[in-house]
Amino acid sequence: MANKTRINIIELLFNNNYSVTEICEKLGEEQSKISHNLKILLDCNFIEQKAVGKQRIYSINSKTIKPLFELVKQHVKENCKGNCRCQK
């Protein structure tokens, strides 16, 4: 998870589902880079994919990853104030 592209993908998918093309457009990254990182996230079950026609639609794993990230966001909100570098 130390990869900024993977974090950006997870943040993007937190509230919406997108195709690889939409993810590329929203993040301003090349498809090969996004596809590579989507594969890693899929292999680790951080995200899920569903076929809709010829497209693959990606979503966050709502059973485990979404609650985990909600907990992290709440922690940051309650504990990371002032000069804390975790919000940068």
Whichever domain contains 49, its CATH number is: 1.10.10.10
pLDDT > 80? residue 76: yes
Give the pair of three-digit tokens for residue 9: 């993908």
Contacts of residue 52, Cβ cutoff 8 Å, sequence gap at least 6: none
Whether the model clears a pTM of 0.95, i.e. scores above it, the answer is no
**23: containing domain:** 4-87
Give the chain's domain count: 1
Q: What is the mean pLDDT of residues 48-61?
A: 96
| Residue in this structure with the two tokens 């301003």, named with its chain if needed | 28
pLDDT-based confidence at residue 54 (cuts at 50, 70, 90):
very high
Q: Angle of helix 20-27 relative to helix 4-13, nearest 10 degrees? A: 110
